[in-house]
Homo-oligomer: A and B are copies of this chain.
Amino acid sequence: MVVDTQNEKPRHRIQLDKVGVKDLKTFLITERSGLRHHLIPRVEFTIDLPADLKGVHMSRLVESMTEVISEEFSVYNSVEELQIRILDALSEKHSYSRGEIKFEFEFGYAIKTPASKQRTWEVCDVTASTVKEEGKPHTHEVKVDVIGNTVCPHCMANNHGLTHMQRAVGSLRVIGVTEDIPTFGDMIEVIEKSFSSRTYSLLKLEDEMLVTKQMHDNPLFVEDVCRNILQNSKEKFEALTLEMFAEARSLESIHKHDVIAQGRIVTHGE
């Protein structure tokens, strides 16, 4: 006879917004357009808890995820599709009004160096989550962080062309329903073209000279990079309905601290 402590009355009858697991690491495979991606996400998976129940059956959350990942190992077209399946599987094991599953992972992609045209491998950080709420369509939130650089236009204008430049991080976060979520690749592209220049794992001298030239030809504040991400997103995703947040962060080479700029924009599809 099992004592079902979770279903007892709690001492304080307070509704909780999110209860579940955090920093659980697992691994999974997605495939889209013939490209297979193996991911090792850090998972946060939570549901709400009514005021009159003491606890969540935590193992059912992990069980739902493990079953979905294990049974149909390689067929998912996207992280969003996989997350919807996990939330649906949980619905059959545990009641909830609002469930949310979030994956944080590293995502690899190949590009060409700008002058020598060699293949180079790049890796960026992605956070992707799906929310399932009673009577609403699934919504997703996807955030991509990509490294580029900034070049100070103010110093350049006042210092006979001499200026300082530095590594920068651009972030784009989008919120929307399933059919409106862009690919990671499109989000990466939008961010990369918003910097003074893209960055590369590999640069031969001819590439390095070209990148440095491009940087000097395109001096940008962190504010400019943030607005570029917002504007480029607006143009690229104008057919979609999305709420979009951008951040640019510049690891100042003349300071010990960073500078940041954050903004928000909304597209309304057709």
Whole-angstrom CA separation of A133 from B157 in the bound complex: 33
Question: Which listed segment binds B: A173-181, A183-191, A256-264?
Answer: A256-264
**Residues in B neighbouring A66, C-beta threshold 8 A:** 118-121, 201-202
Q: State whether A59 touches B204 (Cβ < 8 A).
A: yes
Residue of B nearest to A38 (CB): B38
Number of this chain's copies in the assembly equals 4
**Residues in B neighbouring A149, C-beta threshold 8 A:** 164, 253-254
Least distance between A192 CB and chain B CB atoms (Å): 11
Whole-angstrom CA separation of A167 from B149 in the bound complex: 12
Q: State whether A27 touches B262 (Cβ < 8 A).
A: no
Question: Which listed segment binds B: A5-13, A78-86, A134-142?
Answer: A5-13
Q: State whether B16 touches A254 (Cβ < 8 A).
A: no
Enumerate 18 A-B pairs (CB-CB under 8 Å) in ascending A order.
Answer: A2-B205, A5-B153, A12-B231, A15-B263, A16-B262, A18-B260, A23-B258, A26-B121, A26-B123, A38-B38, A40-B106, A46-B260, A62-B202, A165-B166, A199-B254, A201-B256, A212-B254, A215-B253
A contact set with B: CB distance below 8 Å: 2-3, 5-6, 10-12, 14-27, 38, 40, 43-44, 46, 49, 54-56, 58-59, 62-63, 66, 69-70, 106, 108, 118-123, 147, 149, 152-155, 157-159, 162-167, 197, 199-205, 208-209, 211-213, 215-216, 221-224, 226-228, 230-231, 249, 251-265
